[in-house]
């Protein structure tokens, strides 16, 4: 039997994304640097036969969460149907505890989970995150403070970190010239892919 997956696009914080959800929750988020066919192939591998149905109302909860994220930290919880192994799910839960506007290293994420010797396994689980932005894998950086690995590309990762840093600077009345997240400076040449309706 075919699994129904609802989808729709959204324009949030200058990003054109595509959201996919089942009745149980958000299953995938396609970043602007990915193709829909790549994301839909991953969904087919996970669910088997799928029927894609475009439905903006079915995705409204997730679109609203992204809009809230674009204006500052998202507050609340969302239902996910992201699949994954029990270990991957633990890693994805850990990612959701990294505060908005901050970063954490792969090693520290592993240590916080009580898996200090499993940094590579943690990094692999982070890379497999099917719902980036809302499960903020972009907030994980290398131990030396540099950006490493992101399915959407390092320029997009920088863009998201800069978006959060600039928002915190506005909220805390800090100088936006530094564009910092914690003690790390991130610059990005990412060009927005859409404009929100005004």
Residue 17, domain member (yes or no): yes
Q: List the Cα angle 152/44/128 in 5-degree steps.
A: 35
Whether 155 and 180 share a structural domain: yes
Residue 78, domain member (yes or no): no
Residue 196, domain member (yes or no): no
Whether 158 and 120 share a structural domain: yes
Say how many domains are in the chain.
2
Task: Catalytic residue, from 137, 141, 160, 163: name it.
Answer: 137
- Percent of the chain predicted with pLDDT > 70: 88
Whether 166 and 118 share a structural domain: yes
Residue 183 is predicted with a pLDDT of 39
The residue-averaged pLDDT of 113-126 equals 94
The residue-averaged pLDDT of 6-24 equals 93
Residue 48 is predicted with a pLDDT of 93
Joined together, the tokens standing for residue 6 give 């609802």
Residue 70's pLDDT band (cuts 50, 70, 90): confident
Q: State the CB neighbour count (10 A cutoff) for residue 179.
A: 18
Angle between helices 119-127 and 86-95 (to 10 degrees): 80
Whether 33 and 107 share a structural domain: no
Residue 149, domain member (yes or no): yes
Whether 176 and 93 share a structural domain: yes
User: Whole-model pTM?
Assistant: 0.86
Q: Is 137 a catalytic residue?
A: yes
Residue 20 is predicted with a pLDDT of 98
Residue 190 is predicted with a pLDDT of 67
Whether 93 and 174 share a structural domain: yes
Point out the domain boundary residue: 71, 106, 127. 71
Residue 46, domain member (yes or no): yes
Q: At 2, phi and psi to the nearest 5?
A: -80, 140
Closest CA to 59 of 129, 13, 96, 5: 5
Whether 60 and 148 share a structural domain: no
Residue 65, domain member (yes or no): yes
Q: Across-strand partners of 142?
A: none
The residue-averaged pLDDT of 23-31 equals 96
Residue 195 is predicted with a pLDDT of 66
- The residue range of the domain holding 35 is 3-71
The residue-averaged pLDDT of 71-77 equals 83
Residue 33, domain member (yes or no): yes
């Amino acid at each position: 039997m075919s699994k129904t997956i609802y989808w729709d696009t959204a324009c949030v914080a200058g990003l054109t994304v595509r959201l996919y959800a089942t009745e149980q929750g958000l299953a995938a988020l396609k970043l602007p640097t990915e193709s829909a066919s790549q994301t839909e192939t991953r969904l087919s591998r996970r669910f088997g036969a799928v029927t894609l149905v475009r439905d903006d109302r079915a995705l409204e909860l997730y679109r609203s969460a992204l809009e809230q994220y674009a204006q500052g930290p998202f507050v609340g919880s969302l239902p996910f149907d992201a699949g994954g192994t029990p270990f991957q799910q633990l890693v994805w839960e850990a990612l959701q505890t990294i505060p908005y506007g901050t970063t954490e290293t792969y090693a520290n994420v592993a240590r916080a989970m009580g898996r200090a010797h499993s940094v590579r396994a943690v990094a692999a689980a982070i890379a497999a995150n099917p719902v980036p932005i809302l499960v903020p894998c972009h907030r994980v950086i290398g131990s030396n403070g540099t950006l490493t690995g992101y399915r959407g590309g390092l320029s997009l990762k920088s863009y998201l970190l800069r978006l959060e840093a600039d928002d915190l600077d506005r909220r805390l009345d800090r100088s936006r010239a530094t564009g910092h997240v914690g003690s790390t400076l991130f610059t990005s040449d990412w060009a927005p892919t859409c404009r929100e309706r005004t």
